[in-house]
């Protein structure tokens, strides 16, 4: 509306226009407030997602370390098992040789007496 048209309006009409504009401004201010709240909520969600991503990366590091430790433990157990099996075979061979020598000594003693 032009200034000339506004000058021609009565005081009552001007007040009605002012009231409508004030109500419109209030509605727009309320919409802006709601939009700001939604934006803030989204920013909080983005921060949470960032925190979750950081936590995931940290947990992946923990899980990787735990897996490496478990793998090392299993490797140590395998090496111990191999060592024990080797020692067992060595003792079996020694025991077999000792038994063979013992039987031979008994046979020689039995024949020699």
Digit-coded pLDDT (tens) for 50-80: 788 888 888 888 889 999 999 999 999 999 9
Could you tell me the CA-to-CA distances from 42 to 39, 46, 50, 87, 112 in Å, in that order?
5, 6, 12, 66, 102
pLDDT tens, residue by residue, 72-108: 999 999 999 999 999 999 999 999 999 998 898 888 8
- Residue 2 within a domain: no
| Eight-state DSSP code of residue 10 | -
106's enclosing H/E stretch is helix 11-112
Range of the domain at 78: 8-112
- Please indicate, yes or no, if residue 80 is contained in any of the structural domains: yes
Residue 1 lies in a domain: no
Give CA–CA dist 1/18, Å, rounded.
13
**Residue found under tokens 């063979």:** 100
Distance of CA 12 to the CA centre of its chain: 67
Q: Is the pTM of this model over 0.95?
A: no
Q: Decide if 20 is inside a domain.
A: yes
């Amino acid at each position: 509306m032009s200034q000339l048209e506004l000058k021609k309006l009565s005081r009552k009409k001007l007040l009605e226009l002012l009231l409508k504009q004030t109500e419109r401004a209030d509605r727009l201010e309320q919409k802006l407030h709601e939009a700001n709240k939604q934006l803030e909520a989204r920013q909080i969600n983005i921060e949470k997602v960032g925190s979750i991503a950081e936590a995931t990366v940290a947990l992946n590091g923990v899980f990787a370390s735990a897996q490496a430790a478990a793998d090392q433990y299993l490797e140590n157990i395998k090496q111990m098992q191999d060592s024990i099996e080797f020692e067992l075979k060595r003792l079996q061979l020694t025991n077999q040789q000792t038994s063979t020598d013992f039987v031979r000594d008994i046979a020689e003693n039995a024949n020699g007496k």
